[in-house]
Amino acid sequence: MNDTPTSTGRRLPLEGIRVIEFSHMVMGPTCGLILADLGAEVIKIEPPGGDKTRRMSGVGLGFFRSFNRNKKSVVLDLQSPEGLASAKALIGQADVVIENFRPGLMAKMGLDHATLARDHPALVYVSLKGFLPGPYENRLALDEVVQMMAGLSYMTGPEGRPTRAGASVNDIMGGMFGAIGVLAALWERQRTGRGQEVQSGLFENCSFLVGTHLQQYLMSGEAPKPMPSRSSPWSVYDVFTLADGQLFIAAVSDKSWRVLCEVLERPDLLADPALATNDQRVAIRPRLLARLGEILQGHHVAELSARLEAAGLPYAPIARPDQLATDAHLLQSGALVPIEAEDGSTTQTMLLPFTLDGRRPGVQRPLPRVGEHTGEVLARLGA
Catalytic positions = 171
97, HSE (Cβ side, Cα atoms, 13 Å): 28
Distant-in-sequence, close-in-space partners of 83: CB < 8 Å, separation ≥ 6: 76, 77
Q: Crossing angle of helices 202-209/169-192, nearest 10°?
A: 110
3-state secondary structure of 142: coil
User: 124-129 and 197-201: which strand pairing?
Assistant: parallel
- Helices (DSSP H) in the chain: which residue ranges? 27-37, 63-67, 81-92, 105-108, 113-119, 143-150, 152-156, 169-192, 202-209, 211-220, 254-263, 267-271, 278-283, 285-296, 301-311, 328-333, 374-378
User: 197-201 and 71-75: which strand pairing?
Assistant: unpaired
Distant-in-sequence, close-in-space partners of 71: CB < 8 Å, separation ≥ 6: 21, 32, 33, 36, 42, 43, 44, 365, 368
Would you give the DSSP letter of residue 195? -
Q: 177 near 205, Cβ under 8 Å?
A: yes
Closest CA to 372 of 26, 135, 139, 45: 45
User: 18-22 and 96-99: which strand pairing?
Assistant: parallel
What size, in residues, is the chain?
Answer: 383
End-to-end CA distance of the chain: 18
Q: 125 near 116, Cβ under 8 Å?
A: yes
